[in-house]
Structure 1
Amino acid sequence: MRREAPAAARNRQPILEVLQPRLPEKGLVLEIASGTGEHVVHYAAARPGLTFQPSDPDAGARASVDDWVRTLGLGNVRPALEIDVTMESWPVERADAVLCCNMIHIAPWEAAIGLVTGAARLTPPGGLLFLYGPYRRGGRHTAPSNESFDADLKRRNPAWGVRDLEAVTRLAAAQGFSAPEIVEMPANNLSLLFNRL
């Protein structure tokens, strides 16, 4: 039932190092598209003063998350919820931070719109929206590996693909978020940190 993803094992610590000084001291952190659950349990173990709410539209992923939480005995992680970001109503009313890793390129653009709109609805002024993954900058890929990955995604589903950083920034601005703080990450990925204005 518990799933493992090699990429999650590699990138969870670099992501945590970016998040650590930027997460609130207390409150609720909502993770969208939790996948295996390896990210959220890593963050929750490092920040016991926060409550984490994982979510995923896939039942198998939710079971994996909950299994990881049970195995590690974490008391600050709630049971994983089913959230479809394209729906207008989510089963969470407020969050101090919304985290989403590696989703918007493996989903139609409508999912990115839903994610940012939902995060704007849930977060208070100063609240954090954190996005992680590969991005194009200035209309160009940042590495040949990202270009190959983008082509592979589009072969699998024409609605998928590595997104333009500028398009994501415009989308966030339209929903009342700041310009992003951009942190370069291993394997040609970026962390984007937006604050609710």
Structure 2
Amino acid sequence: MIDKPFSQACENNKRPILAVLARVFGRPGTVLEIGSGTGQHGVFFAEGLPHLQWQPSDRAEHIPGMSLWFDEAALPNLLPPLVLDVTQPQWSAGQYQGVFTANTLHIMAWSEVKALFAGLERVLAPGAAVCIYGPFNYEGRFTSPSNQAFNAMLRSQTPHMGIRDIEDVTALAAQHGLTLQADHAMPANNRLLVFGLP
């Protein structure tokens, strides 16, 4: 039997994130969440944004755990989770009015981050918005001692992981037609970046 997964970080940051998402994703549509993890964000955001269809996704090994949250919530606008590996050339068919991802870029290899943005270009509808939550560096500098320590811990686990420079992410997004529209300060030295398609 699978235990329902739990992330304290999700509980800590879900309300500040929702406050931004409610403004960015103000119109009805379908939002793809990449890297849904435990499923806590999906439940909270689908409940708080009933005008949206919320589409969770993640690698196959995470689907059973998050599904325990989804089955318990039984929200009509929370769609069944998709198996999604961003490095695969074909993502599930569909066009999305928005994309949200939290705490993914610093655990991916840079090649995977590139694959993520290439995939976004294939599935975003015109005028779509992309919201990316997590820690970022500015001009190669950490924004806090805690982020520097977190980065060292990540790299000690797997060398390809680490906090990304916002300039690198913004340049990569621009290669795929996405422009940085807002950079919101979040609790615990995190940011919520909002990118848009013309």
Q: Which string of whole-angstrom CA distances, capped at 9 and with x for unpartnered residues, describes residues 129-176 of structure 1? A: 110000000110000000010011011111110000000000000100
More strand by proportion, 1 or 2?
Answer: 2
Regions of 4+ moved over 2 Å: none
Corresponding position of 1:19: 21
Structure 1 match to 2:43: 41
Contact 1:120–1:196 (Cα < 8 Å) also in 2: no
Question: For the residues of structure 2 that align with 1:148 and 1:58, how far apart are their CA atoms?
Answer: 30
TM-score, reference length from structure 1: 0.96
Q: Partner residue of 1:95?
A: 96
Alignment partners' CA distance in 2, 1:111 and 1:5 = 23
Aligned positions of 1:1-197 closer than 5 A: 1-59=3-61, 61-197=62-198
Task: Tell me, in whole angstroms, the C-alpha distance in 2 between the residues paired with 1:90 and 1:183.
Answer: 29
Cα displacement string for residues 61-115 of structure 1 (whole angstroms, at most 9, x for unaligned residues)? 2112221111112111111111010111101321111111000101101121111
SS at match of 1:194: strand
- 1:14 Cα offset (Å): 0.7
**Structure 2: runs of 5+ lacking an equivalent:** none
Shift of 1:24: 4.1
User: What letter matches 2:90 in structure 1?
Assistant: S
Alignment-mate amino acid for residue 43 of structure 2 = V
C-alpha contact (below 8 Å) 1:51/1:76 kept by paired residues = yes
TM-score where L is the length of structure 2: 0.95
Partners in 2 of 1:179 and 1:100 — Cα distance?
15
Report the AA paired with residue 49 of structure 2.
Answer: R
CA RMSD of aligned residues (A): 1.1
Distance 1:35 1:154 in 2: 21
